[in-house]
Amino acid sequence: MRRFLELLGFEAHIISEEHGWVEMRGDVSIINLHGADREESSVVFDTDEPLESLQKRLQDAGFSDAHITDEAWGRMLEVTDPQGESVWINERMNDTYGYRVVD
């Protein structure tokens, strides 16, 4: 997938070989790739908005399970969508947490 995205003009920006993760940046888009089983895939969004304000907005709209977790790589908000699927929203990285930034 990484090679395919490179053909489309995306370039690696942040890499963690240890965790099989790479942030790919295009002109106006960012895609995060993470190793997963073939049967499993998910969509994860990034935001510059403070997670606390997003969490409050979701909870006020009835999504009471919206919660913030501090992971080894940064903070994320998880919430269950109306179809019962988990949606993850990552806070944009300000600290690379030991990942390697590619210029």
When comparing pLDDT for 55 and 98, which is higher? Answer: 55
> Does residue 51 have a pLDDT over 70?
yes
Determine whether 99 is exposed, middle or buried from the number of CB atoms within 10 Å of its CB (0-12, 13-18, 19+): buried
Answering whether pTM is above 0.85, one says: no
Domains located in the chain, CATH noted: 2-101 (3.10.180.10)
| pLDDT above 80 for 44 | no
Stated as kind and residue range, the H or E segment containing 33 is strand 30-34
Q: What mean pLDDT, rounded, does the chain reach?
A: 83
Q: What is the pLDDT of residues 58-90, one digit of tens each?
A: 999 999 999 999 987 789 999 988 878 888 888
